[in-house]
Amino acid sequence: MAREVGPSTRPGWLARNRLLVASRALLILALVGAGILVGWALGSDEDLVEAEPAPPKVSSTTSAAPTGPVMPDVRGLATDDARQVIADVGVDAADVTVTNAAAAGESGLVIAQTPVYGYPIDGPITIAVSSPAEVPKFAGRAAEEVLDELDELGARVETTTVYLPDVPVGQIAAIEPAPGNPLPETVSVTISAEPDELPMTEVSAVESSCFTDDDSLNGTTFADLLVCETDRDVAEQTWLIRRAGSRLTAVVGIPDSQDPDSPAMTVEVVGDGRVLTSLTAAYGTTQPLDVDVSGVLRLTIRYRSTTQDYGYVGLGQLTLLGDADALAGLTS
């Protein structure tokens, strides 16, 4: 009996073949893709490796030692001795040029050389030999100019600064040895310095009729203003300054605290009994005081009223100028 054949519910071989082919194709594509990806990755790594910079090559260099003669140190040697030392390194002494230069100290010694010590001799050789130099003149010249000249001549300068009232501050007062003498290796130079200052209110008076006060003169306040009072007679304030000072300075006036109608006052500065200067002080004005007191042993301020009435006079910043050491002895 024949069996009826109907549509199959399972895939046939063609379908299975197609599925197999498709599966193989996908596998091949996957393998090919994987290969491409791996190749790209490897290629990228190679590119990265090639892109990395090569480490720098380190090379060491050393200076070649001079092959020719090297200049010896001939400074301080006599000319003939210097020539011999140079000849000893293989240089003809006749090739050495000798020049003369004024310099401090002993003459006939090498004070400079070319080339300098330790350098190869690859050119002319010159040695400078000292010749006599004189102590320079300083009158009318700036101190810096004279000191520079001494330095250029190779002298060692010992400088002393001293207050000298007759020499402008900063100028040279003396050189030892004196100008015109042979210049030794060491010279002493004295330069005028600024004076030191000592307030007279710090010096004990041997005769006193004054007192210190915080007051003003013509509107200017002075701490420790020296105020001196008098009736109808002459009054004095005296100090023993022992010839330590050179100048006395102050501002003189009638204290502002006094009556505007106060009488004017005559003020004299007296040194060892001799009147050095005189001025008149009036209310509402001030007078500068600046007087030479060089050599004065006993200093006196003498004052009196111009109308012989009772009155006051003030001396602001009354100061003695002079050498620091000498002034220090007045307060010890």
Q: Is residue 8 part of a domain?
A: no
| 205 and 311 in a common domain | yes
User: Is the pLDDT at 244 greater than 50, yes or no?
Assistant: yes
Q: How confident is the model over 14-37, as a mean pLDDT?
A: 42
pLDDT score, position 39:
45
Q: Which domain holds residue 185?
A: 143-194
* Tally of CB atoms within 10 A around 191: 20
| 288 and 323 in a common domain | yes
User: Is the pLDDT at 8 greater than 50, yes or no?
Assistant: no
With cut-offs at 50, 70 and 90, classify the pLDDT of residue 22.
very low
Q: Is residue 304 part of a domain?
A: yes
pLDDT tens for residues 103-127? 999 999 999 999 999 999 999 999 9
pTM here? 0.60
Residue that finishes a domain, picked among 194, 219, 234: 194
Cα–Cα distance between 51 and 93 in angstroms, integer?
Answer: 64
8 A C-beta contact, residue 266 and residue 204 = no
| 113 and 86 in a common domain | yes
Q: Is residue 209 part of a domain?
A: yes
| 302 and 251 in a common domain | yes
Q: Is residue 203 part of a domain?
A: yes
Q: Is residue 224 part of a domain?
A: yes
User: Is the pLDDT at 332 greater than 50, yes or no?
Assistant: yes
Q: How many domains does the chain have?
A: 3
| 185 and 287 in a common domain | no
**Would you state the structure tokens that stand for residue 267, as one six-digit string?**
């003020």
| 309 and 209 in a common domain | yes
**Rounded to 5 degrees, what angle do the CA atoms 101, 147, 323 make?**
150
Q: Is residue 225 part of a domain?
A: yes
Cα–Cα distance between 256 and 94 in angstroms, integer?
Answer: 89
Q: Is residue 60 part of a domain?
A: no
With cut-offs at 50, 70 and 90, classify the pLDDT of residue 233.
confident
Nearest to 174 by CA among 156, 190, 194, 157: 190
| 103 and 211 in a common domain | no
| 123 and 164 in a common domain | no
Point out which residues pair with 206 in neighbouring strands.
Answer: none
Residue that finishes a domain, picked among 111, 131, 151: 131
With cut-offs at 50, 70 and 90, classify the pLDDT of residue 66.
low
Q: Is residue 293 part of a domain?
A: yes
8 A C-beta contact, residue 191 and residue 173 = yes
Least confident of 70-79, 89-98, 153-162, 277-286: 89-98
| 208 and 113 in a common domain | no
In the chain the beta strands, taken as DSSP E runs, fall at 96-102, 110-114, 125-131, 156-162, 172-176, 186-192, 196-199, 205-207, 210-217, 220-230, 235-240, 245-253, 265-271, 274-281, 286-292, 298-305, 311-322
| 97 and 159 in a common domain | no
| 205 and 183 in a common domain | no
**Would you state the structure tokens that stand for residue 137, as one six-digit string?**
């003149």
With cut-offs at 50, 70 and 90, classify the pLDDT of residue 24.
very low
**Would you state the structure tokens that stand for residue 83, as one six-digit string?**
């020539």
Q: DSSP for 22-84?
A: HHHHHHHHHHHHHHHHHHHHHHHHHHHHHHSPPPPPP----PPPP-S-B----TTSBHHHHHH
pLDDT score, position 38:
38
Q: Are strands 245-253 and 286-292 parallel, antiparallel or unpaired?
A: antiparallel
| 150 and 123 in a common domain | no
* Tally of CB atoms within 10 A around 242: 14
